[in-house]
Structure 1
Amino acid sequence: MDPATELARLVDLATPFAVRTAITLRLPQLVDGGTSGLDELAEASGADPDSLARLMRHLVTVGLFAETAPHTYALTEVSRQVLGEDHRWQRGWLDLDGPGAKMDLAYSGMAHSVRTGESAYGLVHGMPFWQDYQRDERLRLFFGGIMAAHAWQTGPAVATGYDWAAASRVLDVGGGIGALLSEVLAQHPHLRGAVLDLPPVEPEAKQALADAGLSERAEFVGGSFFDPLPAGYDVLVVSRVLTDWGDEDAVRILRRCREAAGTVLIVEVLAGEEHAKNNASFDLQSLTLLGGRERSIEDFRGLAAAAGLAVRTERTWQGGLVLIDCGAG
């Protein structure tokens, strides 16, 4: 590919919005269900037939659909990727009418983020992300669902990769609905615990803990990790939280954890080649959406030291997941 063509591909905005429009109109599901003709697709999706034909022409060109006969369409391997329950979150993120698109529009303020090191979400949407998170119920539930999905992925590693024998009570700091806590408690019946998050999360968290059969051993604590944390826990887990914040705020969070417990477990995904293979743009997403950042293991050591914590052990897994065991320095 010549440089001019490659540059044109890199700066094209029509294609990602065309794909998201197809997802918003549920075109892959409609085609998969047998609605393959243009007029039928337009009626089923509520689209203008001529405009839909122009959209489909481009989507056929880029490989999202195939045109098997004039104005008759079929799925391709690419469009099949968004079908099925296991791709529910991806479809939700791509839906132009949903919170995922609202989050991605922060990219339009990326120049501001690069100039200042701050989130662009407030510049684009008129209020900071976490303020909008508490105001917009759909955004809160959507973002919480994404975080829960991450926790279900990391939970087994945390449950088996740390020696929980000496602990009796654990607090999952900023743990959403308690997905990670649920995994740890399920594998270690001697443990009791709690998940701490903002008060609006309480109904979903209590329901999730009940569904996991943990109502007698786990509870929800409403609060902020920037405020003093509840005492009485042997281990505080801070999982996939610090990446959402800049260094100054990350140190504040870890300092609150150090004040409350003798052991703090930092669980994160490391910056580097392994993570970049799967999500090379994640660091820019963290910056523009939240003002956060990816970090190396050396970065996390520095944050821990700044918060008065001493790193005792570190363990990493394939894919970049790291568990850092810290104690009061």
Structure 2
Amino acid sequence: MIQEYPWLKNTYKPLEKNIRAHKNAHAFLIHGDSGIGRLALAKFLSNIFLGCDEDSASEIKDEVIVSPIEVKKSISIDQIRSLKESLLLTSLKGKGKVGIIYPAEAMTYPAANSLLKILEEPPKDTMIILITESTGKLPKTILSRSQIIDCGPPSNEESIKWLEARENRDWTSMLSVFGNRPVLLNDIGHEYLTSQIDLLSSQVTGLIDGKTKPSEISDSWKNDDIELNLRVIYSWMYRYLEIRLLQRNTDESLPIGLSRMLDQNINHESCFKLMDDIMRLRELKYSGKGLSWNIHITKLLNPLFIDMSGLKDYA
């Protein structure tokens, strides 16, 4: 139910009337962070277009969701061709057809070109909704043929209220790491997040103390946890630099080993480079690249090994 996401109301309300009357754009592009309810918004807009109540949404046959095949991590041209065939079929409810592409940036180049042909000559009474975190990863030709819906995140207060209603725990520190993405945090769960962050904190301290090798840590990371772990380490480095450069108060959420390095002579440029490397790896992970992650993570963690020797400034 869209009412479960009150922060989306200002986004969908201005669109509701025209979509219900089929006076809308042929294609919408929902742009925003993951974990804030983008897919729920897309399904709600689809329900309006197809004249369905949310309670009966599960019975909709005129809606097709195109997502990456788990093995390939990408959306293929065959999937887009199949979508086109579906859009050309007669609507079962007589209201039209809807295609949802999620995430849109997962489309291969041929798939994007195939979609462009659909957008150039859209079948009658059809609507396509694309969902993306980054418009920069989509061809400009697709952007120009879509009405962009900027989907902003909820406020900190809204996120905490929403999460506490589902699991009455302290979510403040989680939001500082992951941002206001309550749907994502709720899906992962507070208990798992806490245990994962505690384990990672211990590993980073072991690195800095020279008791744990980078390769040992990379071997222990599950593939599904790589993006999460990289995000946490990035937030710690950001907070570390914030304390040092802006003279902010010490943060108890920092790993013990990292907190001990606050009074050391650390090369700040090297710290920023480490953060850039983390972002690069996150981008690669998100794109579904089949890399030797153990090697890349080991290389990434090397500067933290033995009292952050790779980051110390000996000049």
TM superposition score normalised by structure 1? 0.28
> Would you tell me which structure has more helix in proportion to its own residues?
2
TM superposition score normalised by structure 2? 0.29
Q: Which has the higher contact order (CA 8 A, sep 6+)?
A: 2
